[in-house]
Structure 1
């Protein structure tokens, strides 16, 4: 059977082929736009109180829906890293916003990250990003001593003297997780694992108080229950804003500060690659680094920004960035420290 199209006969088979082609094209378009409407799944270890505002602004700016997943204060960075590893055969996460870099670098070693060197990657200095482009650091915190000024002055001499005696009124977060794990990894690299073990055993024997996270350390010092603690600048500034009698001093290792950037990476196997790239570029932008600097967490920008828009107390921290302990190539040390701590805590 033939039909006329434009004055020429067209066979029924040809019409059927055209119909099938149009149907397939329509199904493909429906599938494409459905994927565009699906939320971008973001595993986020950065505090929700700060990160949700950033992610909401991204949604409003781009129209890309975001579905964040957070974890607990105590286990968030390690918990989410391990979740990505467990899900590697059927990944749910598209973008990982980690609150540090070493766990993200571990995912690279396991082949779970995709390479992307977009505009955001280009504006971050080389020392804070993976040379292959699998992850990029941004918006950093400093590891600091926090003191209750009614009990202890924040000087090197007074802190060293305090740490040389009984530690009943000194606090540290459990080192199995978070930035305390990064702190211990740096010490392992600088000192060796045996010396680190001896040092930590000494802290425990002198009754140092352990909390589930850095916020707990901050609370103990801010309330006066402890005179001294190990924490990060974001928690310290929370206490400052609450009007607590606190001061801070950067922790140094071999005269280097411990600078802990956030990091962002695209998870291998994402079905929303373009949306993921858009979010990565946004998180690595000057806009976001300024927002995080101006937030209560007072993150330190790593890329070029208009420093006139950065709060004065954050500008004071900028010189410490240049003297930061190099975190590149510490994945093996992190694995050693983690294996030792898991044997201690997870018996």
Structure 2
């Protein structure tokens, strides 16, 4: 059994899938996204099309493994994931149905599979958030690689390395800096006392309360904590001329191979790439809309102003198991 399957089997067993009726005009979606972030989008789709959606939520990695188990007779028509790596992994397992429409082609190629197997629907950058009462502007790090310095010992929080966004970030580091460098970097972070918490919400709240001066998060967690009234700021790291840039990942969606409601699934993916849905993603969670011309939420730094890490998102999936193995060797938590 592969490393990925060993790591996911318990989570899959806890999903307890139910039998889902699939008459004409319905759509079954498996979603790894938090329901408050995706349900408003689904409701708008239902209102506009009259198609009834059945939603099954869970962790993205467990649902991905469930899709593999259910082939060639899947329950799900569409899969929504928190990151491109999970989608690309399913593509490599031949579990997705490519679809490239005129609307989907409007999303920049960097944020979708080249063969149409999956579509990025919203973006998120990996940033460092900080507590403004604990740190002065002149004290702030400018690179994630500065976080191994003695200055930051026991002062950094991050989400568990089981988190999809963390796994994707580590994979991107491997692709840009190599396995040896990345493993050494993570070991130095561990030795410097970085604390891993259950999730990014825990990290942003801990930084907001002043329990840690710094936290590694997706950019929208900073905005959520700022909206809650906490004294926090944000650093977009590695933006210098010789720096690697900030990693920008995408939450995305795909049609499951052998989907029973292919037409409805195609309509849903076209809808996700529409201005209406893209605007909702920006407003609900401060994420980057990926359709050109749709504005970011007020206060969010526009994506086009960032220096991006030179990694194609459709390169992440094939590296997933190697990243999991490296993280297991590091034992960061």
Deviates more, 1:323-332 or 1:99-108: 323-332
Distance 1:183 1:264, change over 3 A: same
Equivalent pair of 2:155/2:213 in contact (CA under 8 Å): yes
Gaps spanning 5+ residues in structure 1: where? 1-32
Q: Find out whether 1:305 has 2:293 as its counterpart.
A: yes
Aligned to 1:250: 236
Equivalent pair of 2:149/2:192 in contact (CA under 8 Å): no
Residues 12-23 of structure 1: pairs in structure 2 closer than 5 A: none
Distance 1:90 1:319, change over 3 A: same
Distance 1:279 1:205, change over 3 A: same
Equivalent residue pairs, number: 306
Per-residue CA deviations over 1:82-138 (Å, capped at 9, x if unaligned) read 222232243221101112111101111111110111233121112211121111112
Equivalent pair of 1:155/1:249 in contact (CA under 8 Å): no
Distance 1:182 1:155, change over 3 A: farther
Larger radius of gyration: 1
Aligned to 2:274: 285
Deviates more, 1:91-100 or 1:178-187: 91-100
Deviation at 1:188, TM superposition (A): 0.9
Q: What is the CA–CA distance in structure 1 between the aligned matches of 2:276 and 2:87, rounded to whole Å?
A: 23
Aligned to 1:27: none
Aligned to 1:53: 40
Q: What is the CA–CA distance in structure 2 between the aligned matches of 1:346 and 1:162, rounded to whole Å?
A: 15
Q: TM-score, normalised by structure 1?
A: 0.81
Bigger RCO of structures 1 and 2 (CA < 8 A, at least 6 apart)? 2
Q: What is the CA–CA distance in structure 1 between the aligned matches of 2:68 and 2:238, rounded to whole Å?
A: 32
Aligned to 2:251: 262
Gaps spanning 5+ residues in structure 2: where? 1-20
Q: TM-score, normalised by structure 2?
A: 0.84
Equivalent pair of 2:187/2:330 in contact (CA under 8 Å): no
Equivalent pair of 2:128/2:216 in contact (CA under 8 Å): yes
Deviation at 1:60, TM superposition (A): 1.6
Aligned to 2:193: 207
Alpha-carbon RMSD: 2.5
